[in-house]
Amino acid sequence: MTSGALAAGAPAVLIAAVQICATADRKHNLACVREMVRSAAQQGAEVICLPEMWPFIGRDAAKVAGAETLAGPSVSAMRELAAQLGVWIFAGSFAEQSDEPGRVYNTAPVIDASGELVAVYRKLHLFDIDMTEGPTFLESATVRPGNELVVVDSPLGPAGLTVCYDLRFPLLYELLRQAGARVFMVPAAFTAHTGRADWELLLRARAIEQQCWVVAIDQ
């Protein structure tokens, strides 16, 4: 957890990053996240942030088959927790049903301290990569890109929402900054190979370029 004032004259806010290694066991993942969110709140966190795809990481077919809605169990559980604990939850991302067969959205919800869903961002840039001596991954085969920039007023100030691979596109952060963002949220599930090489470097670059804070939450 970290504490700091994100704008001149603003009060300090204690932020918790819940970083788990999600599995294909949805019940296990939800139980782990519930426990860690409660623990963070007990330690004084006012804003709690989850990683990308925390409800499920497994085979693509199972991801698509198990896709939820914004009224589904994962978001509903986080809304209940936020209201019970009186905290904001930047609820990472989950596989959201779309109207396109075989593809879902990679969706990042934001929940306020009363349990209200106050913002929804759908990942714009999809992780399609084929490295000679590294991973091959085609997120676009099962994920549909979103089409909107999202900035939400929060206890951290205006927060620009991004997810994982978005981090590699500086223009997105420039546009979010122009739209008023003063802090960027980056829930992620970076691969070990690309994470070792690029994760911290890219986070620092986006912060320096835009002179904004970055809250990064990785699997």
Please identify every residue annotated as catalytic: 52, 123, 164
Q: Cα–Cα distance between 170 and 99 in angstroms, integer? A: 30
* DSSP codes of every residue in 47-67: EEE--TTTT--S-HHHHHHT-
DSSP state of 12: P
Query: Please, which residues have CB within 8 angstroms of residue 39's CB and are 6 or more apart in sequence?
Result: none
Closest CA relative to residue 103, chosen from 123, 131, 130: 123
CA distance 23 to 18: 15
- Quick one: the chain helix, strand, coil %, rounded to 5? 35, 30, 40
Residue with tokens 């006012």: 46
- Pairwise CA distance, residues 209 & 193, whole Å: 25
